[in-house]
Chains A and B, each alone.
Chain A
């Protein structure tokens, strides 16, 4: 019997600071042994418990796509004990991960449809994984629209990649900031406003939305007003988690455990759940 509490050994391949406030750092991790690497099969939207000896564990969405075979990417906001320790890691440092955990974006449903990806702040991680995945199988999907916002241009994640995506003809990318700076030539405005202004068509479409709760709260009504049915709007919930496998109890909402039955839910499912997230 496999012990689901034992972390898989990994090491840091590369780290880089993402944001101007230096609080968002990306870690690219590689497996220490081949067997673990081969057995680690995941889909965009899933997460891992990252495990540091002596510090503990915390859950993070996987920011790389399963097709990026050379590393497993996580972007970490420095807020507590584990995340601070993660920020101090250097290339070659060893740590552990448990996962992949949870469910994932229902890519099977997305096939042959228009996809609208809406992200805010540092919640863009699993949306990056999703975008990379969709782009790898580009011909399986119709129009792909990305609306991504951050407080300032310097707070956007994966800036180089965003630029690449903006240049692509097969992708509609709308990057917005709450407040621009001197060099900023893109959109300015909160994500819900931009969603309303860009008005992506609900026709044959799915929306995936991830961001701070306040952004989700104000964006959902906009999508509904545009005509997106609740069962075609997907989001990912965040709760405090420990075990990640539906036993320790803290991410329980209604009959679900967000760690094992989520984190991905559609809006129709969320409407039936107690508002305890």
Chain B
């Protein structure tokens, strides 16, 4: 269903959502874009390419209280107090959430913290008109205007948005300000889509990478690749599909809380055992683990690579490790 709404009406619509929902939207703080709860539509800044931190943090926060306790009495923080709207996320990141669903909402153990947030959130994506040179979503079957994992997709066509209503959940929040888009408007949106996709110049060949990696565990390739790595873990912290975490207690006397924090396989402490034994003792094993997990183990478990081509790891790596180049080298290794 294709609708349209003027930008002015969109602002009013967002404002009206605030009375029933907590709205997370892109906010510019000192030049860094991130998704924050807003109190007024004017706080939103849609003039971004993508957020620094992926919006996975709306469902899987960087630091999250799991429960609080006092003298053995436990109060879980699993419930979501208010319904949420996640506004303005990029289609690549919406796709990443679908990958995370495999882990947190899969067949075996259900992660209630993640699932409750996910179920109580309506996602309104914003098609990406200015892809970066590091973007390669199309290599993973994505597109700057992909609808996967979205309830509504907005396409900016100048003074208004074309509104692609993807799910019933998305349909339910529409108001009468959303009117039928005309044929020309839909055509214009299609044209914008095509032109934007053409601007994504990076193309990575994924086919065959998994099979190649099957044979590469002992390869000297990892020694060379990890030489540059500082082990800073920015690649995994900013990755929209990385899901590793640590669990810790914070307590004073008999009162405290158990929290979980993002963690990374790039850190030596991640696997260090109390005995002193570490199955992944150097950057080499850790770098290999990260690549293997994304492009071999994850595929084996869920039939998809744990990468959506957002390019955050490329943009932010302090030593310019480029996963596109790594994948290419794997294939030619």
Do residues B109 and A56 form an inter-chain contact, with CB atoms below 8 A? Answer: no
* 8 A Cβ contacts from B108-156 to A: 108-113, 115
A238: interface (CB < 8 Å): yes
B245: interface (CB < 8 Å): yes
* 8 A Cβ contacts from A46-76 to B: 53-57
A-B contact pairs, 20 of them (CB 8 A): A2-B110, A2-B112, A4-B110, A6-B74, A53-B249, A55-B249, A239-B279, A240-B273, A242-B247, A243-B245, A245-B108, A248-B244, A249-B243, A249-B244, A250-B244, A252-B293, A252-B297, A255-B296, A255-B301, A276-B279
Do residues A247 and B112 form an inter-chain contact, with CB atoms below 8 A? Answer: no
B104: interface (CB < 8 Å): yes
Contacting B297 at CB < 8 Å: which of A55, A245, A250, A255?
A255
Do residues A242 and B245 form an inter-chain contact, with CB atoms below 8 A? Answer: yes
Stretch at the interface among B21-29, B178-186, B191-199, B263-271: B263-271
Stretch at the interface among B12-20, B41-49, B65-73, B160-168: B65-73
A28: interface (CB < 8 Å): no
A246: interface (CB < 8 Å): yes
Q: A1-B112, A55-B249, A242-B246 are in contact. Are A79 and B104 (CB under 8 A)?
A: no
Chain B window 282-299, contacts with chain A (Cβ cutoff 8 Å), 1 for yes, 0 for no: 000100010011001100
B275: interface (CB < 8 Å): yes
Q: What is the interface residue range for chain B against chain A?
A: 35 or more
- Count how many chain A residues have C-beta atoms less than 8 Å from C-beta atoms of the other chain: 37
Q: Interface majority SS on A: helix, strand, loop or mixed? A: loop
The distance from the CB of B223 to the nearest CB of chain A, in whole angstroms, is: 16
What residues on B are CB-neighbors of A4 within 8 Å?
109-112
What residues on B are CB-neighbors of A248 within 8 Å?
244-247, 260, 263
Do residues A94 and B72 form an inter-chain contact, with CB atoms below 8 A? Answer: yes
- Measured in the bound complex, the distance between the Cα atoms of B254 and A238 in whole Å is 31
Chain A window 237-277, contacts with chain B (Cβ cutoff 8 Å), 1 for yes, 0 for no: 01110110111111011110000100000000000001011
Which residues of B pack against A, CB within 8 Å? Answer: 66-67, 69, 72, 74, 76, 78, 103-104, 108-113, 115, 217, 243-249, 251, 254, 256, 258, 260, 263, 265, 270-275, 277, 279-280, 285, 289, 292-293, 296-297, 300-301
The distance from the CB of A32 to the nearest CB of chain B, in whole angstroms, is: 9
Contacting B108 at CB < 8 Å: which of A53, A56, A246, A277?
A246
What residues on A are CB-neighbors of B289 within 8 Å?
252, 276
Contacting A79 at CB < 8 Å: which of B74, B275, B296?
B275
Closest Cβ neighbor of B285 among chain A residues: A276
Q: A56-B248, A79-B274 are in contact. List 4 more A-B contacts (CB 8 A).
A: A3-B76, A56-B247, A246-B108, A252-B265
The distance from the CB of A199 to the nearest CB of chain B, in whole angstroms, is: 31
Do residues A239 and B251 form an inter-chain contact, with CB atoms below 8 A? Answer: no
Closest Cβ neighbor of A56 among chain B residues: B249
The distance from the CB of A79 to the nearest CB of chain B, in whole angstroms, is: 5
Do residues A53 and B279 form an inter-chain contact, with CB atoms below 8 A? Answer: no
What residues on A are CB-neighbors of B285 within 8 Å?
276
Do residues B72 and A6 form an inter-chain contact, with CB atoms below 8 A? Answer: no
Do residues A6 and B76 form an inter-chain contact, with CB atoms below 8 A? Answer: yes
Contacting B251 at CB < 8 Å: which of A53, A245, A252, A253?
A53
The distance from the CB of A212 to the nearest CB of chain B, in whole angstroms, is: 9
A40: interface (CB < 8 Å): no
A9: interface (CB < 8 Å): yes
- Measured in the bound complex, the distance between the Cα atoms of B246 and A79 in whole Å is 20
Contacting B78 at CB < 8 Å: which of A3, A7, A94, A250?
A3
Closest Cβ neighbor of A80 among chain B residues: B274
- Measured in the bound complex, the distance between the Cα atoms of B33 and A12 in whole Å is 51
Do residues A54 and B271 form an inter-chain contact, with CB atoms below 8 A? Answer: no
- Measured in the bound complex, the distance between the Cα atoms of B271 and A274 in whole Å is 15
Do residues B270 and A245 form an inter-chain contact, with CB atoms below 8 A? Answer: no
Closest Cβ neighbor of A52 among chain B residues: B249
Closest Cβ neighbor of A251 among chain B residues: B271
The distance from the CB of A125 to the nearest CB of chain B, in whole angstroms, is: 16
Contacting A276 at CB < 8 Å: which of B76, B78, B112, B280?
B280
Do residues A247 and B293 form an inter-chain contact, with CB atoms below 8 A? Answer: no
